Structure 1
Amino acid sequence: MPLSFLTADRTFEAAAESPLPYDDRERWRRPYRPGPWRVGAAALVLLLASFVLFAAMAIVLTDSVSSAGAVFAGALVVIAGALRLLRMGVWVSSRGLRHVGFLVTRTAPWARVISVRTVQQPVRWLGLPRTVQGQALALVRKDRPTADAPPLLTTHTLDFLGRPAAFDRAADTVEAWAAEYGRR
């Protein structure tokens, strides 16, 4: 079963003639592939979930169904967390720009977007409190001050750590979507 949220369509990489290569622009799409760090972290979390499911099965065999149910529910929460980790990132469509976090999803319609631009600034390393110098894709909205907005993408997230060319390609694609739909 193909998991559409794991890979961006290959047309983003193959489209040299158009930065917006899709016919169906109403569908939300991630304009880049998830990075190896994100996929590896999700795989480790799913490995942990398999051990928890095995523990639930062992608990059922020892005749404690209520305890096994609680452990099974915990495994489902871990699996949902791994899937949400894979879903995190920036998604675009003709309706707007969506920033999917682990717990919160923010959607900005193109009518409220003033600009999307790459800036050089201190960024959080892998989402931790430690900051390093890097690049960030900043969203400037009409209804919010720029200082309040977290960056959409940075060079030091799970998707782009050690992959500056992938960050540049993703930032250019999101900027192209903003340029296309922001002026409407």
Structure 2
Amino acid sequence: MPLPFLTADGVSDVDDDGDGDEILAHADQDRWRRPYRPGPWRVAISALLLLLSAFMLLATMIVAFAGGWAGAGFCLAAALAVVGSAVQTLRVGVWVSPAGLRRVGFFVTRTVAWSEVTEIRTVQQPVRWLGLPRTVQGQALTMSGTGGAEPPVLLTDHNADFLSRAEAFDRAADTLADWAEEYGPVPA
């Protein structure tokens, strides 16, 4: 929920549509940003991981007070790994900047310059449901590059960000297409 603040001129910094996806005037325009909000499934998974890490940190404290320093160190390392997993789960997705498009995965991040992107389009194809091996028929946002390889799937309407949020998927696909049109190669 965006909180409206008034500037010195008495103008609110929040648009009337209330979707909260606007770019603030004072924001650094060259930084990487996600053109959509993380979905409820992604936030819920991260929240559960953080809850688990809280119990693990409590166990670390109990083991440390009992005098088992080796066990406390192991519990602390495991809790920090779970916290790192929660943070990385929130970072997963597509990020854009004037430099290019970045697809952040849990373990691998790939960056493609806008000059290498030839087309971004939405296609109907089998997609993975919440990233699991099960596939369902859905929409996928794919990118064609100058390399001629199979187009990678950037977003699907059944991933943790867009499951049961078709309008948010359409908005994100349009936003990514707009970024590609604005910063992509100029057609001859």
Q: Note whether the superposition's TM-score is higher than 0.5.
A: yes
**Which residue in the other structure is 2:157 paired with?**
155
| Amino acid corresponding to residue 80 of structure 1 in structure 2 | G
**Which residue in the other structure is 1:180 paired with?**
182
CA distance in 2, matches of 1:21, 1:64: 50
| Amino acid corresponding to residue 159 of structure 2 in structure 1 | T
| Amino acid corresponding to residue 66 of structure 1 in structure 2 | A
Alignment of 1:91-106 (within 5 A): 91-106=95-110
CA distance in 2, matches of 1:95, 1:88: 19
**Which residue in the other structure is 1:25 paired with?**
29
CA distance in 1, matches of 2:73, 2:185: 53
Alignment of 1:69-148 (within 5 A): 69-146=73-150
TM-score normalised to the size of structure 2?
0.84
Q: 2:40 aligns with which of 31, 36, 42?
A: 36
Moved segments of 4+, more than 2 Å? 10-15, 19-25
**Structure 1 residue 68 corresponds to structure 2 residue 53:** no
Percentage of matched positions with identical amino acids? 54
Aligned residue pair count: 170
| Amino acid corresponding to residue 133 of structure 2 in structure 1 | P
User: Taking CA–CA contacts closer than 8 Å with sequence separation of 6 or more, which of the two structures ends up with the larger relative contact order?
Assistant: 1
Unaligned runs of 5+ in 2: 1-13
Other structure's SS at 2:153 match: coil
CA distance in 1, matches of 2:121, 2:182: 14
| Amino acid corresponding to residue 128 of structure 2 in structure 1 | R
What CA deviation, in whole Å up to 9, does each residue of 1:15-43 have, x standing for no partner? Answer: 8xxx9887743110100000011001100
What CA deviation, in whole Å up to 9, does each residue of 1:23-74 have, x standing for no partner? Answer: 7431101000000110011000100000110110110011011210111011
Structure 1's 69 and 144: CA in aligned 2 closer, same or farther, altered over 3 A?
farther
> For the aligned residues, what is the CA RMSD?
2.1
Deviation at 1:108, TM superposition (A): 0.4
**Which residue in the other structure is 1:3 paired with?**
none
The answer (yes or no) to whether the contact 1:110–1:182 under 8 Å persists in 2 is yes
| Amino acid corresponding to residue 75 of structure 1 in structure 2 | A
Unaligned runs of 5+ in 1: 1-9
**Which residue in the other structure is 2:8 paired with?**
none
Question: Whose helix proportion is higher, 1 or 2?
Answer: 1
| Amino acid corresponding to residue 170 of structure 2 in structure 1 | D
The answer (yes or no) to whether the contact 2:141–2:173 under 8 Å persists in 1 is yes
